[in-house]
Amino acid sequence: MHEQPIHVPQEWHDHDLLTFEQFCTLIHIPPRTVRDWRRRSTGPR
């Protein structure tokens, strides 16, 4: 799997929290995949 840089919008700040939906949009991964990562304890922290 080839990793690509993620574009972070300027209006997002390092101290803000992301919603689950925002995170999925940011990393371009479907929510179902991210939930599966959590279930299997894999993927990004």
Query: Rounded distance, CA 36 to CA 41, Å?
Result: 8
Considering only CA atoms, which of 16, 10, 3 is closest in space to residue 27? 3
Q: How many alpha carbons lie under 13 Å from residue 8 in its C-beta half-sphere? A: 6
Helix (H) or strand (E) holding 26: helix 20-27
pTM > 0.95: yes or no: no
CB-based contact 37:43 (threshold 8 Å): yes
DSSP state for residue 10 in the 8-state scheme? T
pLDDT, one tens digit per residue, over 1-45 is: 566 777 777 777 777 788 999 889 888 899 999 999 989 998 776
